[in-house]
């Protein structure tokens, strides 16, 4: 039976593994995390880590659809495309390798402490969640720096969790969410203001010396754009310093920015047995295969490749869409590419959305 190796078991990797396993294909996944540790919903992760962990930190053994999938908890160290072999090293320092008939590259990107490729144990993941939450809980003033969805959702969720804490959101342009429709920002802006978040538009930060977005720092923050410094007990840096996790790959597979080059079929150019998906794949300027259920197309295309059938192509959206703010007291808002908001009412989150749409419909069953 042909073997598919999936390098990276984050959100895209897990969904791809599920799709392939349901097709009866042998799958082996390699992950630097002990289970799914999602990069989604940073705001909820920081404000309500226990609630976040129930939905976004899930052991691989809890996914029913992964029962036939072998997982290797290890860090990737190299790829030999000629031998069709990937190398790895585990938490005990033991090295190994896996051969493949098809390779899926789904190693994602590094972007702050919430999206890291570092090899970690269960205890290390739990300790990190608790430490970040405690840092923010102890602060009287929090500054969130960044204009993307991670920054915006963090500012709102922190304001909802600690209404007596002064929360400010600083972004470098006239508006945040520049890759979303303007109507999305208009709606989100109103939600932030109603929650008491101070909006600092056109504030571009001076990065501290030896800056690392992996830490929540203390203020003050100075501005390249000339405004007076902003004091804060805790500064959350969500400035989009995305770095693809591709150091283990040969340079000829990458574009000039280090992302994996792909064709519209999600195959690598000249390497029909290799595919890429998620934030690591240079599929389009938004790298949108991470957020548009491209895993379903990918699983089908891998099956077609193995069966000698015609592959389909991926059509990326022009704008970002989806949930921006996370779950709020009155429900969950999902924004269409046109900027229109659709709200799942609060009662439906635990009764319909999570148990039926997410756990049953998307993941095909998650054990308690």
The whole-number pLDDT of residue 176 equals 94
Residue 139 gets the label, from left (phi > 0), alpha (psi -120 to 50) or beta, of beta
Fold (topology level) of 3-121+242-318+350-362: FAD/NAD(P)-binding domain (3.50.50)
How far is 47 from 167, CA to CA, in rounded Å?
A: 13
The angle subtended at Cα 250 by Cα 247 and Cα 253, nearest 5°, is 105
Element (H, E) at 191: helix 182-194
The reply to whether omega before 87 is within 30° of 0 (cis) is no
How far is 143 from 126, CA to CA, in rounded Å?
A: 24
The whole-number pLDDT of residue 208 equals 78
Residue that is written with structure tokens 């998620």 in the block: 278
The whole-number pLDDT of residue 240 equals 76
Flag whether the pTM goes above 0.85. Answer: yes
Q: Do residues 37 and 58 lie in contact, with contact meaning Cβ atoms separated by under 8 Å?
A: no
Number of H helices, E strands in the chain: 8, 21
Over the chain (368 residues), the average pLDDT of each successive run of 10 is: 95 96 96 94 96 95 96 97 96 94 96 88 95 96 95 97 98 92 94 97 88 82 95 92 92 96 97 96 88 91 96 86 89 89 93 93 93
The whole-number pLDDT of residue 108 equals 94
The whole-number pLDDT of residue 205 equals 94
């Amino acid at each position: 039976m042909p073997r598919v190796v999936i390098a990276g078991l984050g959100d895209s990797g897990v969904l791809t593994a599920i799709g392939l396993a349901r097709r009866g294909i042998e799958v082996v996944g390699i992950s630097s995390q002990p289970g799914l540790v999602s990069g989604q919903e940073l705001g909820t992760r920081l404000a309500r880590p226990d609630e976040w962990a129930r939905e976004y930190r899930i052991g691989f053994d809890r996914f029913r659809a992964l029962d036939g999938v072998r997982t290797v908890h290890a860090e990737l160290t190299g790829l030999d495309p000629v031998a069709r072999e990937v190398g790895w090293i585990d938490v005990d320092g033991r090295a190994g390798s896996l051969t493949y008939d098809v390779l899926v590259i789904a190693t994602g990107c590094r972007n702050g402490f919430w999206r890291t490729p570092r090899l970690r144990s269960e205890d290390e993941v739990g300790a990190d969640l608790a430490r970040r939450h405690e840092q923010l809980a102890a602060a009287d003033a929090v500054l969130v720096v960044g204009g993307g969805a991670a920054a915006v959702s963090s500012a709102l969720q922190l304001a909802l969790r600690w209404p007596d804490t002064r929360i400010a959101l600083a972004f470098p342009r006239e508006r945040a969410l520049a890759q979303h429709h303007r109507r999305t920002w208009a709606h989100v802006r109103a939600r932030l203001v109603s929650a008491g978040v101070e909006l600092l538009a056109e504030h571009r930060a001076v990065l501290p010396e030896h800056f690392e977005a992996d830490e929540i720092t203390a203020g003050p923050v100075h501005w390249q754009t000339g405004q007076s410094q902003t004091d804060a007990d805790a500064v959350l840096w969500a400035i989009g310093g995305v770095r693809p996790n591709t150091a283990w790959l040969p340079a000829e597979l990458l574009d000039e920015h280090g992302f994996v080059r792909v064709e519209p079929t999600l195959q690598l150019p000249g390497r029909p047995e290799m595919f890429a998906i998620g934030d690591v794949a240079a599929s389009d300027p938004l790298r949108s295969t991470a957020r548009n259920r491209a895993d379903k197309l990918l699983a089908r295309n891998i099956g077609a490749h193995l069966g000698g059938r015609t592959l389909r192509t991926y059509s990326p959206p022009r704008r970002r869409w989806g949930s921006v703010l996370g779950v709020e007291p009155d429900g969950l808002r999902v924004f269409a590419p046109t900027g229109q908001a659709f709200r799942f009412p609060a009662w439906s989150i635990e009764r319909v959305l999570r148990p039926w749409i997410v756990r049953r419909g998307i993941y095909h069953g998650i054990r308690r």
